[in-house]
Chains A and B, each alone.
Chain A
């Protein structure tokens, strides 16, 4: 996975508005770990439909952080989960980990 998380979209969106930039990053910092936690919980319960819903929601943050390949993997993972297939779990976990580390440093 050679995707590198970045703030290009958020910078463009903020148009130099530092307050907004700070606000949106705070929201991501708060929301991302919670969404990942919910996703892991649903996976542990083998509730794959709900886990697919969680992946669907996470796709937006994956896009926001510029992870194009990650987005496509998430799309496949979501579709797989609906069928009860968890084969992309480990690859998806790597994306989540990458995002978490990036957000912590930002």
Chain B
């Protein structure tokens, strides 16, 4: 068993050495949108050819890799500083798990192979008035014959400009309690009435988008699960993929991320000061190494627990909270160590992880982890209520 895993690790290592483009960071720094999209699609196709793009899918759809091999795969991709699948992310994780858990056979046949061929997905959940309180979303879907007519506005739809399809939550029963009047749809982004506008974020990127929906028609066949049960579908599928994706991010934080931080501390400045000679700096580094080691262990636990069905209700939230706040502290420290020189790095490579070595941009970008996907405050509430069983917040049903 272990020898088998060692063989697999050796295979992945060889593959990484042969296929991870040596100069991708330089090429992706300051890349245009078209270059970014082309690169992402080419990298996805490369991984797919090797059988590494969707290892977590069921075997019948092109996955079926045992979990212990997936852990090895993601650890090695991180160790070899491979580009991340930024663009395909929602498709291979959220869309796929939604379809696998709640979709019809027809929906699976239509979309899962297409995702492998490069179909890009975006998540249309949040709205201007529905952030942390997602269930209060106002976008409406009115049934008219064999289709629904959608009106409203979605926000923070990452990758919206490049998406072919959208996972959409909309209110189908305005009179029901707010979590019981929402439906889950698959929306073709070429449908008339959709207007996508990028929003420039704090680091100057524009991958977050607003999606305006004006009398957009969705065939009733594109409903996922039952009408008015969309909230329950979203709850069942949202956290499903968090384990393995968090494991990959944790491995990246531990490999390249921590490595660059130590290297930055090892550089002697013009004034002859080498941060690594400073006891305070060494102490901070050691603290980060300890926390990263703990995080990596927790991610492996969540992955194994998901497989065995023993993962605790709050475990994914513990991992998300701990990762995002650790990322923030670590990039903050990188920016401090980087000093004025770090202020002059005006762009960071696209397709990279959340720690790219462009410390200032990484630091500012770290709020993209502590706010979306359930802010740190929401995660703490989930941990306390579902993990510790503390009394619930007053909230509408």
Do A and B associate with each other?
Answer: no
